[in-house]
Amino acid sequence: MLGTYDIVIVGGGPAGLAAAIYGRRAEKSVLVLEKNGFGGQIAWSPMVDNFPGIPSVSGAELADRMFSQALDMGAEAELAEVTRLRREGAGYAVVTPDGDYAAKAVILATGAQHRRLGVAREEELAGNGVCYCAVCDGAFYAGRPVAVAGGGDSAVQDALLLSNSCSQVYIIHRRGEFRAEEANVEALRERENVAMLMSARVTALLGDGELTGVRVESEDGSAREIEVDALFVAVGSEPDSAPFADLAATDAAGWFTAGESCEAGKPGLFVAGDCRAKSVRQLTTAVGDGAAAAVAACRYVDALR
């Protein structure tokens, strides 16, 4: 074993970091394992203005504050991909390519990943004009035409961000109305370089090796081709739960089905954040899940003594 801990948290986003903070407040030994970058998807948000008590902060700064707070309180953190869990006695072996960690309790805060559009050649053109993060890649297309596929808050926020630097932004949504917050939709309508293509969907990606445009089909069956240098896909997320589905129950879509208690149905196993089946996935609900899961995990560890 690489180490033994009271609580091992799989995932270093807001839910995982909140859980680490609460675990350390209860004086438990805590390890956070994250396969990509600490802070989760919020780290890519240009501005967060809906977190109580902090009127305006960049996602990167907020993520850094949360991570630093967890470390300052004594939590440990490692960049490692957890490939599976194995039940051992009253606890778990947390398996990574570099070795196993022993945990009395485990909190799965694995979050979600960007959902693919499902159009032919999407994987082929990923990174060559097909993008999934406007914050990460938007600057590469300054002064150039781009499109955004989606109609939720992420898509509308991406379109707003891109409209600040791109010559033209097309936002393509398969429904007749956006699902995003009305304030963001109104802000988007005020941008002169934004065109809204409603009740429409992307049916083909154009270009040989590099994206040069998209084919868009309307609900009435008409189609048009739009010349763009990039397509930003913002059509929701899917849970990163598959490696743990043998221990933690999931619904048909793969979301962990733990309730508000965050208990996953197995002794000492808890889930938190966007990976959990729920109606609202926001920064504040992820942090709330992390707190609830950590409190429950601490109670479980105490009961083992």
Positions marked catalytic:
133, 136-137
User: String of b and e for 153-165 (b: at least 16 CB within 10 Å)?
Assistant: bbbbbbbbbbbeb
Q: Phi/psi of residue 220, each to 5°? A: -80, 0
- H runs (alpha helix) in 37-115: 59-72
Q: Which of 264, 292, 184, 244 is CA-nearest to residue 10?
A: 244
**DSSP category for residue 43:** G
CB-CB contact of 113 with 66 (8 Å): no
Q: How many CB atoms lie within 10 A of CB 175?
A: 12
Kindly list the distances between the CA atom of residue 225 and the CA atoms of 145, 171, 193, 205, 207, in Å, as whole numbers in the listed order.
Answer: 13, 14, 18, 10, 12
Please write down the long-range contacts of 49-56, taking CB distance under 8 Å and 24 or more positions apart: 50/282, 50/283, 50/284, 51/283, 51/284, 52/284
